[in-house]
Structure 1
């Protein structure tokens, strides 16, 4: 009897310790569990069961006079004649920061070279860099020579391609840059057939993109919004993340579908719809690609997935990838080499013929269909 009682107490003690251990692990991992599991479950439920994005649009609708406060900043640098009397296939805005002079120069010398595009591809593409005011504390290296704003003005005199408004250039003002782009197109270049927005560390395979847009234009495509699509993404509620969005800014458990802000394209009719949506929506949400999704949802436009828009990821370096590449993210120092390799006229010749196609299918399957290779082209791109 005594032995049985001791064994019972020992068993209970083990059970109690195991329970405490499990609870401790759950408590330590709860934030991560909530982020990766619970929030996604809520997001999927809201998207597919509640389907309440009309509630989102209604909650963010504000009077027109109030909405204009997000877009009526005066222009400090502007080029209103940039598109005048020209047949513009693509108006391409590059989101940049004042201190990223080298990135802008690299783009001007590679995929964003308007002269090369006109002479080699036979179309007019207008490339503009959009930015806000430099934050003085971030630019101490310039103080011994001349101020960062003066440097930008000097750069603009040389290249005539900076568009700047009077708000501080920061991560939390990215949505203001989004508004700047659509409002500028509406007022200065509404006849452009397509609009693209891109980060300044992105690589655009301009020959492939131009061919794609020409095909879309010949087909008379409308309601085009193409890029890497995020569906049913939940807001980030962790205060340690730069993507943190508090409930009072966005109370809903799911975002509308949107394309990664690293690079996407819309047709002119969509650009016009987005412009009008911004006139009545609260733009305080600083995640610009999400706000784009909110605007599109409000006007009934849905994004289209294109497997060769890489979104946040960097594409693998290979001839078979270059053959269909549209965008690749995360390129700064290597942009010159990538441009020389990817856009060389002889690249596509290596992938022609039955052998070339079979070889590239095998190579792409190996490069793209790996479980640990994320945020770039999906596995299905290997078979497209």
Structure 2
């Protein structure tokens, strides 16, 4: 028995030595090893062992003039009186694109129906669709005429003259927080969502009302990504070169598909946008960079689905708040999710 015990110990010792050798090789060759698992191990090691993002203040700080330049595009459509009400409970930005008229109409007739929210839920919610201009010059002129006509009817569009592309999503984030500061700083909560997101508005309002009664501050809630590594594959739309962001891990951030911040956090994020280099085109990540510079941390909420699409089932939709990836079924979901049997 004694000899067997010694053999086990020797075997474990050899395994430990082997593992140390492998890890040493990986550490030496880390930059040359471009593997999904390795990048995540490296990212998590950075996030949970080093756990310092002081470099953001040092490396991304710019002058006020430089920071302003990232979002200094002229407005083509704007409104001064959307938040004229003194008791705006929630300012809800929907990130849309010029050609997505059908999605906007579906939202206006379902979860984004402000009249319904006021009548049934007793709070004032302002829904604002934010966008740039169509990247295709041949389609731009006709679409722009349609947008002016759409806004003439609904009065809920805010548009700046930047190309509405994936790589300008950070510009759209700047538009939201700077517009909120200028036009709706008294809103108790601010939400940002994609135009293919389904929001269970009764659940969202009830959740935020419970927080408001507790006078909650420092709120930033959604589906949280922790220790996410930069994508270095050039064939990915999320590709970020080392020259743009050289570190192993992003700060924690919430999925941009749908998240909520309290009014005090919205003000802090606005201030952060006035001093940071916004050239990184992943808007979720830039939000995390802004937040960490002002001492705000995201909070995970299981009923914010992030990038996921929640399948319809009464047990799910009785609790859920957001579900992503709904391009054509928002009206159906709204009808079944707000049916009496769901709320019983």
Scaled by the length of structure 2, the TM-score of the pair is 0.89
For residue 198 of structure 2, give the secondary structure of its aligned residue in structure 1: strand
Asked whether the 8 Å contact 1:56–1:252 carries over to 2, the reply is no
For residue 147 of structure 1, give the secondary structure of its aligned residue in structure 2: helix
For residue 34 of structure 2, give the secondary structure of its aligned residue in structure 1: helix
Check if 1:151 corresponds to 2:140. Answer: no
CA distance in 2 between counterparts of 1:138 and 1:132 reads 15
Report the CA distance between 1:66 and its aligned residue: 0.7
Check if 1:189 corresponds to 2:184. Answer: yes
Counterpart position of 2:105: 105
CA displacement, residues 43-80 of structure 1 (integer Å, 9 cap, x when unaligned): 12221222230112321111111111012212110111
Counterpart position of 2:319: 324
Report the CA distance between 1:173 and its aligned residue: 0.5
Counterpart position of 1:84: 84
Report the CA distance between 1:95 and its aligned residue: 0.3
Counterpart position of 1:44: 44
Report the CA distance between 1:134 and its aligned residue: 1.3
Counterpart position of 2:250: 255
Report the CA distance between 1:124 and its aligned residue: 0.4
Counterpart position of 1:198: 193
CA distance in 2 between counterparts of 1:335 and 1:93 reads 17
For residue 341 of structure 2, give the secondary structure of its aligned residue in structure 1: coil
Change beyond 3 A, Cα 1:317–1:138: farther
Report the CA distance between 1:138 and its aligned residue: 6.9
CA distance in 2 between counterparts of 1:213 and 1:102 reads 28
CA displacement, residues 313-363 of structure 1 (integer Å, 9 cap, x when unaligned): 0112111111101000011211111100002233121xxxxxxxxxxxxxx
CA distance in 2 between counterparts of 1:302 and 1:102 reads 35
Report the CA distance between 1:35 and its aligned residue: 3.5
Structure with max Cα Rg: 1
Report the CA distance between 1:234 and its aligned residue: 0.2
Counterpart position of 1:128: 128
CA distance in 2 between counterparts of 1:318 and 1:210 reads 21
Asked whether the 8 Å contact 1:35–1:236 carries over to 2, the reply is no
For residue 97 of structure 1, give the secondary structure of its aligned residue in structure 2: coil
Counterpart position of 1:340: 335
Counterpart position of 2:34: 34
Structure 1, unaligned stretches of length 5 or more? Answer: 1-29, 350-384
Structure 2, unaligned stretches of length 5 or more? Answer: 1-29
Check if 1:209 corresponds to 2:193. Answer: no
Asked whether the 8 Å contact 1:74–1:165 carries over to 2, the reply is yes
Counterpart position of 1:266: 261
Report the CA distance between 1:149 and its aligned residue: 0.9
Match of 1:313 among 308, 311, 316: 308
Asked whether the 8 Å contact 1:93–1:196 carries over to 2, the reply is yes
CA distance in 2 between counterparts of 1:85 and 1:205 reads 23
CA displacement, residues 283-307 of structure 1 (integer Å, 9 cap, x when unaligned): 0000001100000011010000000
Output aligned runs, 1:165-314, within 5 Å: 165-314=160-309
Counterpart position of 2:62: 62
* Cα RMSD (Å): 1.7
CA distance in 1 between counterparts of 2:35 and 2:305 reads 24
113-122 or 197-206: which moved more? 113-122
CA distance in 1 between counterparts of 2:324 and 2:40 reads 26
Which fold has the larger relative contact order, with Cα–Cα distance below 8 Å and residues 6 or more apart in sequence? 2
Scaled by the length of structure 1, the TM-score of the pair is 0.80
Counterpart position of 2:19: none
CA distance in 1 between counterparts of 2:138 and 2:194 reads 20
The alignment of Structure 1 onto Structure 2 pairs a total of residues equal to 315
